Structure 1
């Protein structure tokens, strides 16, 4: 699999982009005309840099508004093309992208369009340059890839082929199965982009909201399968116009982009039953092994866990970390980051094959994490997510795992008995899509649902990622653009949240200040079907409540310490949500009140 990326996907100047592409492991690049024009380096210098970096310049783009015009305009278009062909020779690339005419000064005459495309191909042929003709989704007369292919056939030039772009095809709802009817040798280039399902004009959708594969709503695995079955043998190239990616760190975004192509190739091969370009098989998580909180002021976290009824299981025999548990739920407090406020910094997952899970993660570009392990201690393979959160995998049962490395803890379990229900991770606006792709590609989680929650600093978007059986659930929260990342938290599911809240209150836990208006609204929403005695107890203990036809949800929160807090939840019946209706109240209650 050869990989490529259009320089338009990334922030910075052309030289910065090329270095980032090489560092990410791309084989080639599409150089956007605007990037070259803005660069101080000559085409020869860019060519030499790409040679040094091991990057092939796969294509030069774009050239627009060529075909379907009057003779005078076309003569000027050929003059423009001649200048670009000279630049391409200096760059050392042999493929020019020509987008279908989107202007108003054009005619819908296939014979004219084909004749003019043929003339451009004839102009390019003596230089050894090929032309890839692409149907833009908003092309004036040519907006369908099948129409573009008919024009290529009608022009009948060996150096004229077509470029297929997943966005232009899938955004218009065109059936990609027809790709298999195209001669694979005449598919000169392939551009890939995902996108969210939006209702808006296709040009704005394209220019601002494309995503890397695996982050949107398009069936790119099916699309790519059609292209490969047609016989295409060129690179898989990304062309993603996105306002966020053009502002974020260029090195990190390039690595993010490269991961998306690796994931897409693997998923496509898996669906088609091919053996080439396969990674290690995904290792579905069987459960949450532990959640780690690191930083300074961990004594405050100790106090909260003690008040909630967690059991202190002891200190590690060789590392400055300590373990608290509540039944099967385990929280590790790591003292090694004293310069930082407490934060949720690592997650451990139980899998069937930890080594295979880590190998797959590394193949997807996730860097390994090293922690010193002494003789007799379990070594857990781990990688770092793009934001630095560490992910560990454990394939040993509890009686043979790392748990026995903690000593000096309480002999008898205390009151709280539960499991990790979900782990809520907050991200800044520029890191959200990257986090979703990491969760799906590296952690093998699937998208469940998306909620938009109004909060005191703007609309918060929550995307739930989970295993099919729900034993691992990771809501990923996107902060509003001007807001910091939301605090992260771990939710512990128990059998009786009311009893847990009463015990925590008696132990001195500071309850979240939930306004009376919230409980008045519960009474209005549920009426007489909500037991008044239960409502009074919810109000007294500061619990939140939700209900749907499948069951009920009761939950409460600890105070935030640094950037982390704990939630205690109880699911009654088959309730499978997260209390989204109460989230705006919780966010407002957690915000520091003005003095």
Structure 2
């Protein structure tokens, strides 16, 4: 049975305010201080930051200032998210390398727990061996700065399911690599909840909790960006998923990732408080 000592992580979109991943400009309109203080006030001990928001944060506070701010607010788990086209050796390589360098430098300076990357959302043709090689390369770089690397699978991408993600990670074969398991993507890809119990613990980099209605509205991408629900307010078997993940050995931090028109239009302090309270409610219900 869980206790109220479960640690929560506010993933990047949960504290971003009026920002969304389907906009040309992904940056949050809020200052990093506003976001960190709101997360701390809501009881989060983990915090996620998107690569697009990192330059402004460094310019405003410096890496040392960010580290102090995190510590002063009781944030002990940091997730850095987003290296575009990390698999590409072609036209996107220069931009990808620039972001990669910035993220790795920040991960080392800030003591990041892990880096999170995403698949090809366009689901273009891809070479599995090449992707495994590039993932292993990035995992080694993360390891060198004291962090790990997780890939989050998307049902509309080339890495569609938990099992696709695990296959890539195993093909890559680096100890620092693993998957980030988001309950939205588990449910929408129709992955059996029981499958979560057998995921090797050393391959779970992070877990993200959220909920949704039974029916998908629009594309999967549109539904995930605009219509997620707070934990326990949708139709997902969250208690079953949490129980299965605990069976696998996962004990947190539990990410909370809420993306919706309702959430981003709510003042960040209230939005984060509701996100934390709803996540704790389902964690307390699970065994």
Q: TM-score range by the shorter chain?
A: 0.7 to 0.9
Write out per-residue CA displacement over residues 123-164 of structure 1, whole angstroms, 9 at most, x where no aligned residue. 22222221011112221x211111010110111111111111
1:20 Cα shift? 1.2
Is 1:5 the counterpart of 2:10 in the alignment? yes
Change (3 A) 1:198 1:34: farther
Is 1:99 the counterpart of 2:118 in the alignment? yes
1:28 Cα shift? 1.5
Aligned to 2:3: none
Aligned to 1:246: 264
Aligned to 1:50: 70
Aligned to 2:22: none
1:191 Cα shift? 0.9
Which of the residues 158, 164, 170 maps onto 1:147? 164
Is 1:214 the counterpart of 2:214 in the alignment? no
* Partner-residue secondary structure (3-state), 1:63: coil
Write out per-residue CA displacement over residues 215-264 of structure 1, whole angstroms, 9 at most, x where no aligned residue. 11111111111111111233111011112211212222221111112101
Which of the residues 157, 163, 184 maps onto 2:201? 184
Aligned to 1:130: 148
Q: Which structure is higher in helix share? A: 2
1:71 Cα shift? 5.7
Change (3 A) 1:94 1:237: closer
How far apart, CA to CA, are the structure 2 residues paired with 1:120 and 1:107?
Answer: 21
Task: Return 5+ residue gaps in structure 1 as ranges.
Answer: 270-595
Aligned to 2:20: none
Task: Return 5+ residue gaps in structure 2 as ranges.
Answer: 1-5, 18-29
Aligned to 2:174: 157
Q: Which has the higher relative contact order, 1 or 2, with Cα contacts under 8 A spaced 6 or more apart?
A: 2
1:182 Cα shift? 1.6
RMSD: 2.0
Aligned to 1:89: 108
Contact 2:45–2:76 at 8 Å: present in 1 too? yes
Contact 2:11–2:256 at 8 Å: present in 1 too? yes
How far apart, CA to CA, are the structure 1 residues paired with 2:91 and 2:56?
Answer: 29
Contact 1:212–1:257 at 8 Å: present in 2 too? yes
Pairing of 1:110-509 with structure 2 (within 5 A): 110-139=128-157, 141-199=158-216, 200-269=218-287
How many residue pairs end up in the alignment?
Answer: 266
Contact 1:113–1:151 at 8 Å: present in 2 too? yes
TM-score, L = length of structure 2: 0.85
1:208 Cα shift? 0.8
Q: If you compute each CA radius of gyration, which structure gives the higher value, 1 or 2?
A: 1
How far apart, CA to CA, are the structure 1 residues paired with 2:84 and 2:245?
Answer: 24
Write out per-residue CA displacement over residues 390-444 of structure 1, whole angstroms, 9 at most, x where no aligned residue. xxxxxxxxxxxxxxxxxxxxxxxxxxxxxxxxxxxxxxxxxxxxxxxxxxxxxxx
How far apart, CA to CA, are the structure 1 residues paired with 2:265 and 2:179?
Answer: 31
Change (3 A) 1:79 1:37: closer
